[in-house]
Structure 1
């Protein structure tokens, strides 16, 4: 479908004198060239609040472009300001998410500049990263109105990017693809707290874990595999589904109206990944386990690549969900881990007591964990320092994140080993000297007749 001339549109906006009130992103499918133009043009229109950057390239040398949006300093990480992200079009033929994310970019920018109080508070306290297309090569091979096939699903090397990440339950023998490596590097560069990736072909919110130890499954069945933060993940998934126009509706999310057949719907529009179907090397599990970023997988359209005329409807259905989901990052507990000189400690292990999976402090020494209301004990450990733990009450209200800082004391010979696997006890020099002197006295007494 032809794209509106960028120059003509910019001239029209200038003549109108109010660029922020005129929709810029049309409800069309944007090919790679148009997507790049749209993102660059939006940055030109809103330079104070945006930064476009690339996390890498595809097999066919297309840039994986990200739009960063924030009320101030969109080009930098600010200590204590959470980082969140959306990723679309991981499967190239699942096209709706790609367009939803372009709409969301403009919605944030227009809302902020027009004084929407809700959007302004969110962007003043958050940095949002949006990658509309993780698989631009696959998208270029896909066909509109193709609801069920796999044409364009894979990257240019013919591999499923959502089976390509290192897996923590069994070996993944696939060679890591350039697009996958780009995401892995991105996660190392930015301490993301909350994320979702948008897919198509179903209608639901899917949360970890997606895989399980091989001896606990068989070829036809994978049991519900709850991760340590299962309660939070369920709540995050419900936040999306219940704010959606019809994702929560079991009679609608069975997708029978599009795909036919007689498959059951999903209660409340959510599911544990493994309980739905087992999959190895999935991106949401990697985000959670390797990077401490809580990610879910969103299936936003029963048809993978529906008619372009349906895009306004999909935006109406998903707009509130997309906004409310990312706001959930402003719940839970956060804090900074410092040393005895008040310098940040990087890579300290932070664990919520009773939840086996630890996560790490970022380069600024900060940690952040989304939690439901309740009282929790937070445990912090770092090699060379004494372990520490504190209790904290979490309210569950938006923008009321509990602050819990730690100052770790360095290990000395008189303090217990920091390594939980070390059962030994460090002994002070005075005790050592006393033991030696006593032993010498006993030895002398034994040799004197």
Structure 2
């Protein structure tokens, strides 16, 4: 498993300037990076992306990320997708409900209940309490253009947002206590990467098929989950019986029901390969991947924009990736 941390620490001068004027949210160009990603629910997409955001979007295309979390301050709660809604069928009782809502709640509760106090509810003076220390992002407040929804919709990577401190800029003396409060929760969250089922989609000759659709009945993801360049797929799922539909051009549709155990206990998701058969009308030959689901707007070059982050305190991105050959923490 690969664990990545990206630290962005501004200069002392910038911190001073923005603590006075615009604490915490903006880069050097005055853009809030966590409102700058493509948004599946927004009709006002400009296509303009900051360099930092473009770098994350490009990075997500290079690896098969499965589970991630982004760390914030200002509250003590685990927030899960969706962060936004356009009033469609996803909007239910004030929450914007994702197809994998059960898994996302499991991820949030795993962190909250392993944290030293998050599960007790947020008692920050300027924030409401959160039952069990979790919240649907949209139910808390709508957030367009966030990384959490982008990673889930277009990156096939289930992500939650972790608010870890009532104070957005905790003093250095508080850091050891914050680490102690979150260390076990971080490890427990990482272990959840072993939920569900993983494997490859192969053709009749055993060759991996890139961009094959691996869909779970009853979960209509905005962007269907697809295999990577090695034909590998991964679906985070709670224990239970699931019917999978696997499709690839020129091949018969495969429907198969699997019983999924609780993988984190054994540090491995269920391993299962799907093997497809060619349709009778198709002659053997090289396979062409199906078209990928892409964001609604393509970014344009941003001349003169610096990749350096402005005064946002310390921004941490935690991303967990499954290494298919060695599934151990």
Aligned partner (choices 123, 130, 140) of residue 254 of structure 1: 123
Does the C-alpha gap of structure 1 residues 353 and 370 become closer, same or farther in structure 2, counting only changes over 3 Å? same
Distance in 2 of aligned mates of 1:203 and 1:288: 22
The Cα offsets for residues 10-33 of structure 1, whole Å up to 9 and x where unpaired, read as xxxxxxxxxxxxxxxxxxxxxxxx
Q: Tell me how far 1:351 sits from its aligned partner.
A: 0.8
Structure 2 portions without partners, runs of 5+: 284-329
Which of 218, 238, 242 is 1:354 aligned to?
A: 218
Q: Is the 8 A contact 1:138 1:155 kept in 2?
A: no
Does residue 405 (structure 1) correspond to residue 276 (structure 2)? The answer is no
In the alignment, which residue of structure 2 is the partner of 1:225? 96
What is the 5 A alignment of 1:21-40? none
Name the counterpart of 1:373. Answer: 239
Note closer, same or farther for the CA distance 1:311–1:354 as it changes in structure 2 (3 Å cut): same
Offset at 1:306?
1.2
- Which of these residues, 91, 106, 109, is aligned with residue 235 of structure 1? 106
Does the aligned pair in 2 maintain the 1:138–1:153 contact within 8 Å?
no
CA distance in 2, matches of 1:366, 1:210: 28
- Counterpart CA distance in 1 for 2:21 and 2:6 is 24
Corresponding residue number in structure 2 for 1:337: 201
Shift of 1:385: 1.7
Distance 1:329 1:214, change over 3 A: same
User: What does residue 119 of structure 1 align with?
Assistant: none
8 A contact 2:90–2:98 mirrored in 1: no
**Which structure has the bigger radius of gyration?**
1
| Bigger mean CA deviation after superposition, 380-389 or 226-235 | 380-389
How far apart, in 1, do the equivalents of 2:135 and 2:21 lie? 23
Question: 2:37 is matched with which residue?
Answer: 165
Q: 2:73 aligns with which of 200, 222, 231?
A: 200
Distance 1:197 1:349, change over 3 A: same
Q: Does 1:244 align with 2:110?
A: no
Partner Cα separation in structure 2 for residue 138 and residue 409 of structure 1: 58
SS across alignment from 2:48: coil
Alpha carbons of 1:245 and 1:149: their partners in 2 closer, same or farther (altered >3 Å)?
farther
Contact between 1:141 and 1:151, CA under 8 Å: does it hold in 2?
A: no
The question of 1:383 aligning with 2:249 is answered yes
SS of 1:248 mapped into structure 2: helix
1:321 aligned counterpart, secondary structure: helix
| Counterparts in 2 of 1:414 and 1:310: CA distance versus 1, 3 Å | closer
The alpha-carbon distance between structure 1 residues 411 and 150, as it changes in their structure 2 partners (threshold 3 A), is farther
Q: Name the structure, 1 or 2, with higher relative contact order (CA <8 Å, separation 6+).
A: 2
Show the counterpart of 1:131: 6
Could you say which residue in structure 1 is the equivalent of 2:287?
none
Query: TM-score scaled by structure 1?
Result: 0.58
State the distance in 1 between where 2:176 and 2:70 align.
20
Structure 2 Cα separation of the partners of residues 164 and 330 of structure 1: 30
The 2-side partners of 1:212 and 1:378 are apart by 27
2:167 is the alignment partner of 1:303: yes
1:131 positional shift: 2.0
Aligned to 2:314: none
Residue aligning to 1:154: 26
Q: TM-score, normalised by structure 2?
A: 0.78
